[in-house]
A and B are shown apart, each in its own frame.
Chain A
Amino acid sequence: MSNQRKRLTGEREDEDDEDAEGIGEWERAYVDDRSWEELQEDESGLLRPIDNSAIYHAQYRRRLRMLSAAAAGTRIQKGLIRYLYIVIDFSRAAAEMDFRPSRIAVMAKHIEAFIREFFDQNPLSQIGLVSIKNGVAHTLTDLGGSPETHIKALMGKLEALGDSSLQNALELVNEHLSQVPSYGHREVLILYSALCTCDPGDIMETIQKCKKSKLRCSVIGLSAEMFICKHLCQETGGLYSVAVDEVHLKDLLLEHAPPPPAIAEFAIANLIKMGFPQRAAEGSMAICSCHKEVKIGAGYMCPRCKARVCDLPTECTICGLTLVSSPHLARSYHHLFPIAPFDEVPAFSSLNDSRRTLGKSCFGCQQSLIGTGNKPGPCVTCRKCKHYFCLDCDIYIHESLHNCPGCESIHRPKSVSLMEE
């Protein structure tokens, strides 16, 4: 959740800290803002700011997708246990500087955020990392549930070299994922910065192989649309998108965090054996099975073989039992019952109806909904409780909170009066 906040507000600041050393203070403002890129020339030669319709568009898209999902059936099945490989293209093209400071740094930064967000939303899932360099695909990390190991492995290897090969990466991932249990959803997310792929064989065959093994391949391009990527995504049912700028890249990445609708063939209910380990007693000493180190306190005990593990969720290295904690399960739950999308309120009618008093401020943050020039700003309304919300709260409610404050407060009318005071 804290992550989410940072995305909305404080993103510019951490950039400052990381890569603006050695630049004068006055310069830094321009370098970071890159304000000139937000201007464009219109027909008559005047400079105008680029309208940030891109952001609204992203929101719009999300809305649309949810709507279509809702239309398809009220209870859509979602794969909660996902095995996702992230393939990062570290070929020559990743060194390009059109994203500042370079594509490779931007990719790494956002993948880090993505990994955290991913585990936040899918506590039962696992991630593995693969990189493409010099035309060969390397495994950076095997499938695992600990964000820290992935991030550490990723950050250690930041250099861009040689050609890129989509086929090699797909083959490697396909091989890895062929071993995962059948109830898990196999996915690949490819961050592709190159514009071509030098393959040893026929990539079409590899794509068909992926399709056969139900591998859902999604690609995020960093520069332009490539036919082969589009083809791959279409064949395997993944998403293909191309990032316009850094913010857009982040949005696109995070779109992959919530679990996708289950592929029809997987939509059979399965019983899975899981263990709910107890936290080890304070001060007890044991050798943890994951790092082979002696640790005092902290850690969990596998209920079946009593081995010690450091982090949850994971798979017990000794007996292979899936170890989770109950909050993990609970957190995965909201994907199955998402809040219905809020309706957009047409700009002018909103304040003229009988709900005038209600409509003046956002029910979530109590900010006024009246925009500049005394015009009503854009706002949305919940279908059930008919409360109004500002756009920020809309995103917050749908992406982080997963509860509508309006609907929740209907059951506890006292809290409403408290808030109003």
Chain B
Amino acid sequence: MIFKIEDVTVYFPYDNIYPEQYEYMVELKRTLDAKGHCLLEMPTGTGKTIALLSLITSYRLSRPDSPIKLVYCTRTVHEMEKTLAELKVLHDYQVLHLGTQAKILAIGLSSRKNLCVNTKVLAAENRDSVDAACRKRTASWVRALSTEKPNIELCDYFENYEKAAENALLPPGVYTLEDLRAFGNNRGWCPYFLARHMVQFANVIVYSYQYLLDPKVAGIISKELQKESVVVFDEAHNIDNVCIEALSVSVRRVTLEGANRNLNKMKHEIDRFKATDAGRLRAEYNRLVEGLALRGDLSGGDQWLANPALPHDILKEAVPGNIRRAEHFVHVLRRLLQYLGVRLDTENVEKESPVSFVSSLNSQAGIEQKTLKFCYDRLQSLMLTLEITDTDEFLPIQTVCDFATLVGTYARGFSIIIEPYDERMPHIPDPILQLSCHDASLAIKPVFDRFQSVVITSGTLSPIDLYPRLLSFTPVVSRSFKMSMTRDCICPMVLTRGSDQLPVSTKFDMRSDPGVVRNYGKLLVEMVSIVPDGVVCFFVSYSYMDGIIATWNETGILKEIVQQKLVFIETQDVVETTLALDNYRRACDCGRGAVFFSVARGKVAEGIDFDRHYGRVVVMYGVPFQYTLSKILLARLEYLRDTFQIKEGDFLTFDALRQAAQCVGRVIRSKADYGMMIFADKRYSRHDKRSKLPGWILSHLRDAHLNLSTDMAIHNAREFLRKMAQPYDKTGTMGRKTLLTQEDLEKMAETGVQDMAY
């Protein structure tokens, strides 16, 4: 359908539109007009992605004089593919109605592992080794060398791509990763380098968060994006954590040992070069004297290590004299490693600010701040000079230099925490030195500054006023949309008491109480006997889950559950979990029914959907607070309080509730779906906790369901499941119009959006 939002003609590839999609587009359009940033919360299953894509591409078509570029960031490759598939439908529709002028170039960009077509490179098992295998075949010096020695293996795809040079272009269209690979195979061009090259020409780019937020990657991939871009962060409820992770480094003993090995190897190489090709080292030295700002000349096409610090924090000046010479630099690194090793040997937990860390480093190892700052750039230069291609082996030393640069650059918003052992397992020494970033706004600030509009959107962004404070920006629009539904297809319930009327909670003093454990167990036993197909349970942590399952096993509760449904458990091992999930789905498909035990904040809670019969009920056991004794969390809370005036309690609750909402939100992924959400903890009935849940859940949480005991919950569940099993009318009846046609929209444009029927 084609309709107008103010002055923009929107091309929407479906015949009907949900009212909330229309509203979403209106708000988005206003953001684009204002050239500002926005926060939009809309529940999953309402077609957020297509609304976003169709508005932004239509906006672009209506402003031919100032074409905007869309940069769409997703969390996973799977989501990337889904987005591109939707864009394809949209693009076909637009081309059908507007002809060739609507043609755009849209590409997905991912790591080499996902894009490479060279079977020999792909044989490597993980991402880093694929990268290394690729570099081994494509680095400029390797290719230069191969002209002399023909037995060196090169990548044909890359060679062909290089041969085509300027002509290596993608014709307009929408390319998923699969399409890119097919195109690459067809032409014999390397899809990865082609895609990277096309980033500057593409109208729509879909890639992962890191490509924009992690300065190490963004410096290479995203630096040529124009200002007139709209950046979209989809599923962005955890964006602050992504930002923080991008600037945090942790060093373990293994890292130090690996780094030492790396240094030995480099030393060896340096010696070899000294003997054979001293001129190279000399040339490098000269270049460094002139300054790293000119390093663009040095690297040619081989940039692969960008500075971990943010672009505007990097000094554009010459490398300090004491590390210009390769062997001196290696010495400095050795001293740094020794110092870190000594610090790791501590018996106590230590917490330090970067300033004091740098000063003690200076006094004890004689490395000053400025030197630290340049570590990463110096390492990069050295590795290029030494022609090192197997970068995956050199990860440890990169981590250490990464750490050094960050600690040298930032004085605020970070802290260094050294823990001799994991708090939860005090008898196993596992020292770890962490440089943790507390300020999510640091990493995202360049994005906000650089691009015209940034759209942050997700199904769960509540409370929506906290995000601007955490990320320190001012949105022009921040709104939360509700879901219009033909029937009440979600049924959230707060369960506060067990069947014996005693309160249940995972509060620290109550969680190991046998009564609570039993009540939780009984709840599940009753649930599995009345709920068909899939049931998902989320626990607050792995250790809690292990404990409670062990107790259930002893008391025979697990046996009762197994009589009704098969039990699958998420573990920390990815392969095992994938297998468990796979079998869980099969058990649901064939009617046997299954329960999946999972952990909030785990992989399953973040990325796996339990839609339709794969999840009819989701039980959230407890409030998934972070581990509050964690030193990093405490440091971050302190920083948030001092800098942004966010109270500790507020932040903790916010974080716990967004995780809980994320967990229970897995159960419903479309309007035709239905599911129950049980919050099993007495703390959920308190207003300060409950009010932080997203609006679309709250609006279905009836007062009568706020303080239930197990038997009442069971009764409600029976009723709900029966009601939902009845056939229903998809389009909605007169009162609750949920599918709008073109006429409806035209009518609405006249009367205004406000009186839309929910």
Q: Which residues does A use to contact B, with CB under 8 Å? A: 41, 43, 45, 61, 93, 98, 166, 195-199, 202-204, 221, 223-229, 241-244
- Determine the residue in chain A with the shortest Cβ distance to B566: A196
Residue with the greatest number of chain A CB neighbours at <10 A, chosen from B533, B591, B702: B591
Interchain CB contact under 8 A, B591 and A166: yes
Determine the distance from Cα of A349 to Cα of B529 in the docked complex, in whole angstroms.
51
| CA–CA, A207 and B529, complex, Å | 25
A203 near B591: Cβ-Cβ < 8 Å? yes
B734 nearest CB across to chain A (Å): 14
Whether B745 sits at the interface, judged by CB under 8 Å, is no
Is there contact, CB below 8 Å, between B532 and A226? yes
**B703 contacts partner chain A, Cβ-Cβ < 8 Å:** yes
Q: Given the complex, which residues of B lie within 8 Å of A228, measured CB to CB?
A: 589-591
Q: Does B592 contact A (CB under 8 A)?
A: yes
Asked if A203 meets B590 with Cβ closer than 8 Å, knowing A43-B702, A244-B722, the reply is yes
Q: Which residues of A contact B275 (CB under 8 A)?
A: none
Q: How far is the CA of A43 from the CA of B533 in the complex (A)?
A: 31
Question: Which residues of chain B have C-beta atoms less than 8 A from A93's C-beta?
Answer: 529
Contact digits for B392-420, partner A, Cβ 8 Å, 1 yes 0 no: 00000000000000000000000000000
Known pairs A224-B530, A241-B725; list 9 more (Cβ under 8 Å).
A61-B727, A195-B533, A197-B591, A224-B532, A224-B724, A226-B591, A226-B613, A227-B588, A227-B589
On whether A225 and B532 interact (CB within 8 A), knowing A43-B702, A98-B718, A166-B591, the answer reads yes
Q: Which residues of A contact B702 (CB under 8 A)?
A: 43
Cβ contact within 8 Å between A227 and B612 = yes
Q: Which 6 A-B pairs have the closest CB atoms?
A: A228-B591, A242-B725, A227-B613, A224-B721, A225-B725, A196-B593
Residue contact B590 to A204, C-beta cutoff 8 Å: yes
Given contacts A98-B718, A195-B531, contact A41 B704 (CB under 8 A): yes
Q: A residues within 8 A CB of B723? A: 244
Q: Which of B600-623 contact A (CB under 8 A)?
A: 612-613, 616
Contact partner of B565 among A166, A196, A242, CB < 8 A? A196
B399 CB to closest chain A CB, in angstroms?
Answer: 47
Inside 8 A of B593's CB, which chain A residues have their CB? 195-196
- Using a CB–CB distance below 8 Å, which chain B residues touch chain A? 529-533, 564-565, 588-593, 612-613, 616, 702-704, 718, 721-727
CB atoms of B726 and A242 under 8 A apart: yes
Task: Indicate if the CB atoms of A229 and B591 lie closer than 8 Å.
Answer: yes
Known interface pairs A197-B592, A242-B726. Does A226 touch B533 (Cβ–Cβ under 8 Å)? Answer: yes
With contacts A43-B702, A98-B718, A227-B613 taken as known, whether A195 is within 8 angstroms of B725 at the C-beta atoms is no
In the complex, how many angstroms separate the beta carbon of B669 from the nearest chain A beta carbon? 15
Tell me how far the C-beta of B223 lies from the nearest C-beta in chain A, rounded to whole angstroms.
49
Q: Could you tell me if B589 and A196 are in contact, using CB atoms closer than 8 angstroms? A: no
Write out the residue numbers on chain B whose beta carbons fall within 8 Å of the beta carbon of A244: 722-723, 726
For the complex, give the distance between the alpha carbons of A203 and B564 in Å.
18
Chain B residue nearest to A37 in the complex (CB) = B719
Which of A166, A199, A227 counts the most B-chain CB atoms under 10 A from its CB? A227
Given contacts A224-B530, A224-B531, A224-B532, contact A242 B722 (CB under 8 A): yes
Q: Which of A41, A45, A223, A229 contacts B530 (CB 8 A)?
A: A223
Chain A residue contacts of B612, Cβ below 8 A: 227
Whether B533 lies near A227 (C-beta < 8 A) is yes
- Give the residue name and chain of the B residue nearest to A61 (CB): B727
CA distance A243 to B565 in the complex (A): 23
Residues of A within 8 A of B726 (CB): 241-242, 244
Tell me how far the C-beta of A156 lies from the nearest C-beta in chain B, rounded to whole angstroms: 28
Question: Are A198 and B592 in contact, with the CB atoms below 8 A?
Answer: yes
A377 to B25, CA, bound (A): 46
In angstroms, how far is the closest chain B Cβ from the Cβ of A217? 13
B residues within 8 A CB of A41? 704
- Give the chain A neighbours of B721 by CB distance below 8 A: 223-225
Please pick, from B532, B704, B725, the residue contacting A196 in the complex, using a CB distance under 8 A: B532
24 pairs, A vs B, C-beta closer than 8 Å: A43-B702, A45-B703, A195-B564, A196-B591, A196-B593, A197-B590, A198-B592, A199-B590, A203-B590, A223-B722, A224-B532, A224-B718, A224-B721, A226-B532, A226-B591, A227-B533, A227-B591, A227-B612, A227-B613, A228-B591, A241-B727, A242-B726, A243-B722, A244-B723
